[in-house]
């Protein structure tokens, strides 16, 4: 097996792993897979260059792809997604800390801790109190007692 086939197989395996298993959450499999794809292309264009050339192209391409794509992908990943018609609204949460109109706190819902704020006009919550989700703003739940 030559470098072209080797790097194509590595690229397909890593990019597929990133997309199917990690759903674009890790990125490193994607970056290394794209580096392998560039190395495969270089090996195809210059078939007599050999393994050392392909490996150097792979390392350099992986580094360049990582530097160029990490921040834009991280920014894209951290965007708040719109939650229209979210099934969380109306669900019951439990306060993990005290909440008042002037102080945000934390609640637990669906097995996860969430930042929360009180809905206007709601009475304050003490740790352990139950509340209902009335709205979601990014990753902050708005709750009322």
- Please provide the DSSP assignment of 45-114 as one string: HSTTSHHHHHHHHHHHHHHHHHHHHHHHHHHHHTSPPP-TT-TTTT-EEEESS-BBTTB-EEEEETTEEE
pLDDT band at 137 (very low <50, low <70, confident <90, very high): confident
Q: Where are the domains of the chain?
A: 3-77, 92-144
Question: How many alpha carbons lie under 13 Å from residue 108 in its C-beta half-sphere?
Answer: 8
119 and 143 Cβ atoms separated by less than 8 Å? yes
Q: Which pLDDT score is estimated for 7?
A: 97
Query: What is the mean pLDDT of the segment spanning 72-82?
Result: 77
Containing H/E element for 116? strand 112-118
Q: Helix crossing, 50-77 with 3-16: angle to 10°?
A: 20
Q: Is the pLDDT of residue 140 over 80?
A: yes
Class of domain 92-144: mainly beta
Nearest Cα to Cα of residue 105 among 117, 88, 93: 117
Please state the φ and ψ torsions of residue 102, each to the nearest 5 degrees: -100, -10
pLDDT value of position 28: 92
pLDDT of 120 = 86
What is the arithmetic mean of pLDDT over 114-135? 90
The answer to whether the beta carbons of residues 85 and 119 sit under 8 Å apart is no
The yes-or-no verdict on residue 25 having pLDDT over 60 is yes
- Between 119 and 58, where is the model more confident? 58
- Tokens representing 63 are 């580094």
């Amino acid at each position: 097996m030559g470098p072209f086939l080797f790097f194509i197989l590595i690229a397909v395996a890593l990019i597929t792993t990133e997309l199917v298993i990690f759903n674009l959450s890790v990125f490193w499999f994607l970056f290394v897979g794209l580096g392998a794809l560039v190395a495969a292309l270089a090996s195809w264009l210059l078939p007599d260059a050999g393994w050392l050339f392909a490996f150097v192209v792979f390392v350099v391409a992986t580094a360049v792809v990582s530097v160029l794509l990490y921040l834009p992908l991280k920014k894209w990943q951290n965007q708040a997604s719109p939650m229209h018609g979210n099934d969380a609204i109306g669900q019951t949460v439990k306060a993990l800390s005290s909440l008042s109109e002037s102080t945000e706190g934390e609640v637990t819902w669906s097995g996860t801790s969430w930042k929360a704020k009180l809905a206007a006009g709601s009475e304050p919550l003490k740790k352990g109190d139950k509340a209902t989700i009335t709205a979601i703003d990014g990753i902050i739940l708005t709750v009322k007692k």
